[in-house]
């Protein structure tokens, strides 16, 4: 989406919002930022006998981010209807191939169909556009432009004494844009169960959460030939199981919340089993609020061990991620806020093969500031 078109949309939305019901909420703004190593390249790579360094591989750029999030909420009786739409455009000045547009449209219907029991269905359509391609893990089809449609179904049960159980089933279809005469799509099915229990003290609430999830993904890739040659089809399946939980503490007056999540993952790649792995992830996420000011800080660590993927010395591939983030929001005037965001990610890996970037170590980060309007 061109910059002028995005500005026009945001402008008309702000005008219309003044005449609509209070049930319509809008979150919009313009921010400026700088991103390092946008395409997640390693520090060194050898191509056709030439050694490329960080100066050659890292693609950095300043950018502008424009976003518009809209929610319309309608309640009647024991039911609720929610309409949502999001637009986000990132305009990179030095690396035009990194330009990114995200669009999302969703509808959610939730009903209290029986005492302490809730039902929700929330179909959602997403479109992501970005010319640049993340070359680090192509075997996972990490091409960035795609169409996606998913339908989650939730059943929530309030069990009394501040305890909840939630069951979710979800279907997702994703189709990546054609790239290098090939196209990939997949169907994915999720099942999830979540149990949450809260204890309220005089000044602090403690929440304990357990979650289990299983997913099955069947993927098809087509390699297109020239003329009337039929496409070459290949399929593979991915099975994934997650088990985890979180312990959190929050103040009764909503001044702060600190959460400690933990997740264990088992992943199976069929039919080759080449990418089978287990992963352990843990971290801390915290939110602090003073009046209308808010500080969010997060730190996450994951460690992944592959079962069959070997590196140059014959040992199994091992790698993990460090991810740190910060978000500061301070009121300026009325419903206008100044916001600062920062994010840093490091992938460490024991793969040192210099002729490929796949599964190699890399680091990437960004920082951005700007204005947000919450109408």
Q: Provide DSSP, 195-254.
A: EEEEEE-SSEEEEEEEEEEEEEEEEEEEE--STTPPPEEEEEEEEEEEEEEEEEEEETTS
Instruction: Note the pLDDT of residue 227.
Output: 64
Can you tell me the mean pLDDT for 269-282?
92
pLDDT at 21 over 50: no
311 and 358 Cβ atoms separated by less than 8 Å: no
Instruction: Note the pLDDT of residue 4.
Output: 53
Instruction: Note the pLDDT of residue 17.
Output: 45
Q: What whole-number percentage of the chain has pLDDT above 90?
A: 68
Can you tell me the mean pLDDT for 32-55?
90
Q: For residues 185 and 231, give the distance between their C-alpha atoms in angstroms, rounded to a whole number.
A: 14
3-state class (DSSP) for residue 139: helix
Instruction: Note the pLDDT of residue 135.
Output: 55
Q: For residues 266 and 281, give the distance between their C-alpha atoms in angstroms, rounded to a whole number.
A: 12
pLDDT at 237 over 80: yes
Output the pTM of the full model: 0.87
Instruction: Note the pLDDT of residue 20.
Output: 41
Instruction: Note the pLDDT of residue 7.
Output: 52
Q: Which residue has the tokens 């359509």?
A: 125
344 and 365 Cβ atoms separated by less than 8 Å: yes
pLDDT at 55 over 60: yes
More confident residue, 266 or 160: 266
Q: What is the pLDDT of residues 119-152, one digit of tens each?
A: 999 999 999 998 766 555 544 545 578 999 999 9
Both structure tokens of 227: 């003329």
Q: For residues 173 and 123, give the distance between their C-alpha atoms in angstroms, rounded to a whole number.
A: 12
How confident is residue 282, by pLDDT bands cut at 50, 70 and 90? very high
Instruction: Note the pLDDT of residue 187.
Output: 97
pLDDT at 206 over 90: yes
Instruction: Note the pLDDT of residue 134.
Output: 56
Instruction: Note the pLDDT of residue 305.
Output: 94
Q: For residues 130 and 25, give the distance between their C-alpha atoms in angstroms, rounded to a whole number.
A: 28
Q: For residues 136 and 143, give the distance between their C-alpha atoms in angstroms, rounded to a whole number.
A: 10
pLDDT at 373 over 90: yes
Least confident window among 115-119, 121-125, 252-256: 252-256
How confident is residue 16, by pLDDT bands cut at 50, 70 and 90? very low
Instruction: Note the pLDDT of residue 283.
Output: 98
pLDDT at 175 over 50: yes
pLDDT at 19 over 70: no
């Amino acid at each position: 989406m061109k910059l002028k078109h995005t500005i026009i949309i945001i402008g008309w939305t702000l005008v219309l919002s003044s005449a609509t019901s209070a049930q319509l909420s809008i979150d919009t703004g313009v921010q400026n930022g700088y991103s390092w190593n946008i395409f997640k390249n390693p520090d060194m790579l050898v191509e056709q006998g030439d050694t490329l360094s960080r100066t050659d591989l890292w693609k950095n750029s300043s950018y502008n981010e424009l976003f518009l999030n809209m929610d319309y909420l309608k309640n009647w009786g024991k039911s609720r209807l929610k309409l949502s739409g999001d637009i986000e455009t990132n305009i990179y000045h030095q690396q035009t191939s990194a330009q990114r547009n995200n669009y999302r449209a969703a509808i959610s219907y939730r009903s209290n169909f029986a005492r302490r029991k809730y039902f929700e269905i929330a179909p959602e359509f997403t479109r992501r556009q970005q010319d640049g391609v993340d070359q680090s893990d192509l075997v996972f089809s990490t091409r960035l432009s795609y169409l996606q449609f998913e339908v989650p179904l939730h059943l929530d049960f309030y069990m009394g004494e501040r305890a909840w159980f939630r069951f979710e089933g979800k279907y997702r279809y994703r189709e990546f844009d054609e790239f290098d005469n090939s196209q990939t799509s997949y169907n994915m099915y999720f099942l999830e169960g979540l149990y949450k229990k809260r204890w309220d003290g005089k000044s602090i609430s403690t929440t304990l959460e357990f979650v289990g999830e299983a997913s099955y993904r069947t993927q098809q890739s087509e390699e297109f030939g020239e003329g009337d040659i039929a496409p070459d089809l290949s399929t593979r399946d991915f099975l994934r199981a997650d088990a985890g939980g979180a312990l959190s503490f929050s103040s009764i007056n909503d001044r702060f919340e600190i959460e400690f999540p933990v997740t264990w993952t088992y992943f199976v790649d069929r039919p080759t089993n080449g990418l089978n792995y287990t992963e352990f992830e843990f971290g801390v996420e915290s939110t602090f609020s003073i009046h209308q000011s808010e500080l969010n800080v997060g730190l996450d660590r994951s460690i992944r061990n592959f079962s069959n993927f070997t590196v140059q010395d014959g040992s199994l591939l091992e790698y993990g991620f460090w991810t740190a983030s910060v978000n500061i929001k301070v009121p300026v005037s009325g419903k206008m806020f100044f916001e600062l965001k920062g994010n840093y990610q490091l992938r460490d890996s024991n793969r040192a093969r210099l002729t490929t970037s796949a599964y190699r170590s890399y680091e990437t980060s960004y920082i951005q500031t700007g204005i947000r309007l919450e109408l």
